[in-house]
Amino acid sequence: MSEKSVLIIATFSAKPGKGDALFDVLNPCVAPSRLEAGNVHYDLYRSVENPDSFLFHETWKSHAAIEEHEKQPHFQNLIAGVESLLAAPPVITKI
């Protein structure tokens, strides 16, 4: 029996006025993540109402694919780069 795919919704809220800087950290993760073997889709959205608010909508083939993604340099750069820009920890929901 194959493992079920996993949907991730991750929201990031920048400190006031830091939305552009946060985008510059989040966006470089999109293209290489889409190229990963375990990725089904990986999209980044920015709120039209609040430019400091972002949402990742991702689908991965398995939990193992997510674990592999989290080891990748582009993901590690994202994690390291967001800390000083966030108003609160990201909210990550896996379905």
- Is the CB of residue 41 less than 8 Å from the CB of residue 58? yes
Question: How far apart, in Å, are the Cα atoms of 57 and each of 36, 40, 41, 72?
Answer: 15, 11, 8, 18
Average pLDDT, the chain: 96
Mean pLDDT (whole number) for 60-74: 98
Number of Cβ atoms within 10 Å of the Cβ of 69:
21
Residue 1 has pLDDT above 50, yes or no: no
pTM for this prediction: 0.93
What tens digit of pLDDT does each residue of 17-31 get? Answer: 999 999 999 999 999
List the Cα angle 85/94/10 in 5-degree steps.
Answer: 20
Range 30-59 average pLDDT: 98
Among 66, 67, 51, residue whose Cα is nearest residue 12: 51
pLDDT at 45: 98
